[in-house]
Amino acid sequence: MSEACTRWPWIVLAVIAAAAVGIPLVAGEQVADFAAALRPPGAGHLAGTDHSGYDLLVRTAAGLRVSLLIAVVCAVAATVLGLAVGVAAALAGGWVDAVVMRLVDGFNALPHLVVGIVIAAMWRGAPLAIIASIALTHWPAVARVVRAELLAITDSGWIQTSRLAGASRWFIARGHLLPAVTGQALVAMVMVLPHAVWHESTLSFLGVGLSPDRASLGTLLSDARGDVLTGAWWTLVVPAAALVVTALAFAAVGTLVRERHRPPVGQVW
């Protein structure tokens, strides 16, 4: 893979993050101006305005910032939970490992969106509920990856040497196993990010996510449903484009991270 191909996803992601933080700061606090509502893109407003007269570019950047923050927190929470379960199952082994992995399979079999809607609807509008709904439905994949990686190295010579030397399971887990799966855990966390962005936007779009007065990509898309019927196509296109580009950038970065941390062919632990 050429250097340019490995660089552009990081550049796109950096531009997205800079826009999400910088545009609202430069624009300052916005005030609703209903006289300027639903103006098409032009010199005064590069992305047009929404039904409340807010500049849609600034509004989308602010919503993107919220969606990115929620996605990062969800990815970290899901990775930590999955890492803990995967390490515990691999260390315990035997029937404990079998029971834990059947529970993981059970969680993984549940439809993520339906479970997320149920959890988010119980505390509608609470960011913590959205984070919990996404993290609790995405940790099983992390747990399976971590457990598989640990099982592949448990019988390695250096692990056996530590056991024969009298090292405790906690010492082996902290000193040997956790560092060995850090790369795979990082890959899993990055791969969760686009899913978290999509799920947050979907929950807010369906009305069980963030409150409508709080900008996120999902709430902007939800507001655009009525505006599009009046011909204001830009209210849908601008946040939708931001959502698609962000998700694709996260997915591309995740692929690069996964390739970088993939063990060489024929490597034996």
Q: Where in the chain are the domains?
A: 53-261
88 class by beta-carbon count within 10 Å (0-12 exposed, 13-18 middle, 19+ buried) = middle
Q: In the predicted model, what is the mean pLDDT of residues 181-208?
A: 84
For the domain 53-261, what is the CATH superfamily, name and number? MetI-like (1.10.3720.10)
Among the residue ranges 1-5, 100-104, 211-215, the one predicted with the least confidence is: 1-5
User: How many CB atoms within 10 Å of residue 7?
Assistant: 11
Q: Is the pLDDT of residue 157 over 70?
A: no
Which one-letter amino acid corresponds to residue 92? A
pLDDT above 50 for 228: yes
Nearest alpha carbon to residue 41 among 50, 28, 33:
50
Tell me which DSSP letter residue 55 carries: B
Considering only 1-5, 150-154, 180-184, which range has the smallest mean pLDDT?
1-5
pLDDT class for 227, splitting at 50, 70, 90? confident
Which of 140 and 209 is assigned the larger pLDDT?
140
* pLDDT for res 23: 92
DSSP 176: I
Q: Which residues contact 214 (CB under 8 A, 6 or more apart)?
A: 66, 125
Query: Which own/partner pairs from 113-118 qualify as long-range (CB within 8 Å, at least 24 positions apart)?
Result: 113/199, 113/202, 116/199, 116/202, 116/203, 117/203, 117/206, 117/208
Alpha-carbon span 48 to 135, nearest angstrom: 35
